[in-house]
């Protein structure tokens, strides 16, 4: 830990001049899973997802019946939604099995993420908005991945009850998000090669936000539902209860009190990956700056646009595709790029991008 007053973690002053191409990103409000625009969007994504889903051969992927059995055992509350999506999206056998996200084709992401708990930078504004004027809570994360494999959908849904805002993956899973109860979650690859029996982590995050209100409840779910690969999940609720949950298919779940994580789980097991992604440096950097007594949330967010947190394509052409900021106390979200920002909330969610094209295609 660095002593206060040092210059080791001075707030960077200039963001990178260029960022990912956001021209094809969309923000979509689909309160119902039967929204016809979802079917149009899925039809556009399915050819690429089918290629990925069957990359190891059809026999490697579970049957539709196996997917349903796994839902009944581990996520029964989501089974009706799964069936509804399969029907409303006109999913054939392969597409329905893909949507099950059970024992899927292996994949991994980058990501740096942290929980901020501190004094509001603007107490008066916090009080006017109904937030706690004494305490500010946020989950801040960079999502690092290959641009051509990113869906780019910011989705507001209310498919089983609670409203949820998040960035999608595998069409109905979530990379990160927050529900209207003030529970926020985000995922990061765990830096291990183990693959096993379980669900894709984006679907597990969807399940957490559909069924949980608190960090304690979320941890219970994450300990119970198997993940098919190693992932780190950061969780925080509006009471500032937080946890880093390390999931793996080949060993017990670990629950830590840490307020930041990157792409490893304890001892490094994949040195090449760790070195190229600088996972240890990123995590240590975040843990250190969170202890700085003069740190603020705006300063922390700005750090995500600079080394060592901001990625520019050194590993597998991955780069930082967005910075997300979820604020559980007032139900607001921000998605940030070097030269652009989207402000969203449960009270005011703005549809953006090519949503008009989706609507026109339905009409």
Predicted local confidence at residue 130, as pLDDT: 59
pLDDT along the chain (363 residues), means of 10: 41 70 92 96 95 96 98 98 98 98 91 93 62 83 93 97 98 98 98 97 98 98 98 98 98 98 97 94 98 96 97 79 97 96 97 80 69
State yes or no: cis peptide before 317, omega within 30 of 0: no
pLDDT of residue 4: 33
Give the pLDDT score at 10: 63
pLDDT at residue 170, as a whole number? 96
Residues 164 and 274 in one domain: yes
Containing domain of residue 82, as a range? 31-100
Out of 74, 100, 126, pick the residue that ends a domain: 100
Are residue 54 and residue 168 in the same domain, yes or no? no
Q: For residue 185, what is the domain's CATH number?
A: 3.60.60.10
Check residue 137 and give its pLDDT.
97
Residue 113 in contact with residue 141, Cβ under 8 Å? Answer: yes
Question: Which of residues 100, 133, 152 is at a domain's end?
Answer: 100
Domain count, the chain: 2
- 117 in the same domain as 85: no
How high is the pLDDT of residue 7? Answer: 39
Same-domain pairing of 116 and 83:
no
Same domain for 250 and 214: yes
Are 154 and 283 in the same domain? yes
The residue among 329, 344, 309, 334 whose CA lies nearest residue 143 is 309
Q: Where are the beta strands (DSSP E) in the chain?
A: 26-30, 112-118, 136-145, 153-157, 164-169, 173-179, 184-189, 231-236, 242-247, 254-256, 260-261, 319-327, 332-337, 340-345
Cβ atoms within 10 A of the Cβ of 100, count?
24
Q: At what angle do helices 64-74 and 79-88 cross, to 10 degrees?
A: 150
pLDDT of residue 15: 73
Q: What local confidence, expressed as pLDDT, does residue 2 receive?
A: 31
Torsion sign over Cα 155, 229, 66, 160: negative
This prediction has a pTM of 0.93
Domain boundary among 46, 78, 100: 100
pLDDT given at position 9:
62
């Amino acid at each position: 830990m660095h002593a206060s007053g040092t210059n080791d973690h001075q707030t960077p002053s200039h963001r990178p001049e260029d960022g990912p191409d956001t021209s094809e990103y969309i923000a979509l409000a689909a309160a119902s899973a039967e929204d016809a625009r979802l079917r149009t969007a899925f039809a556009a994504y399915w050819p690429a997802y089918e290629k990925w889903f069957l990359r190891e051969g059809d026999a490697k992927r579970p049957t539709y019946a196996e997917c349903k059995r796994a839902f009944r055992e581990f996520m029964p509350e989501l089974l009706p939604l799964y069936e509804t999506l399969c029907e409303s999206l006109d999913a054939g056998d392969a597409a329905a099995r893909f949507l099950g996200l059970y024992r899927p084709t292996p994949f991994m992401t980058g990501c740096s993420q942290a929980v901020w708990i501190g004094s509001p930078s603007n107490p008066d504004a916090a009080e006017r908005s109904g937030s706690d004027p004494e305490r500010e809570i946020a989950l801040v994360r960079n999502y690092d991945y290959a641009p051509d494999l990113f869906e780019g959908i910011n989705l507001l849904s209310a498919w089983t009850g609670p409203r949820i805002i998040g960035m999608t993956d595998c069409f109905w899973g979530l990379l990160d998000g927050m529900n209207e109860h003030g529970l926020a979650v985000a995922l990061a690859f765990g830096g291990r090669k183990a693959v096993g029996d379980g669900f894709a982590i984006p679907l597990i995050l969807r399940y957490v936000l559909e069924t949980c209100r608190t960090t304690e409840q979320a941890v219970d779910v994450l300990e119970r539902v198997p993940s098919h690969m190693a992932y780190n999940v950061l969780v925080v609720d509006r009471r500032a209860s937080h946890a880093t949950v390390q999931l793996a298919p080949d060993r017990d779940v670990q629950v830590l009190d840490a307020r930041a994580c990157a792409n490893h789980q304890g001892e490094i097991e994949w040195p090449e990956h760790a070195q190229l992604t600088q996972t240890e440096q990123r995590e240590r950097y975040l843990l250190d700056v969170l202890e700085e007594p003069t740190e603020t949330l705006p300063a922390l967010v700005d750090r995500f646009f600079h080394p060592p947190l901001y990625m520019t394509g050194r590993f597998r052409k991955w780069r930082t595709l967005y910075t997300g900021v979820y604020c559980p106390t007032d139900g607001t979200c921000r998605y940030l790029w070097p030269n652009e920002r989207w402000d969203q909330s449960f009270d005011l969610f703005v549809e953006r991008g090519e949503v008009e094209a989706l609507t026109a295609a339905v009409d």
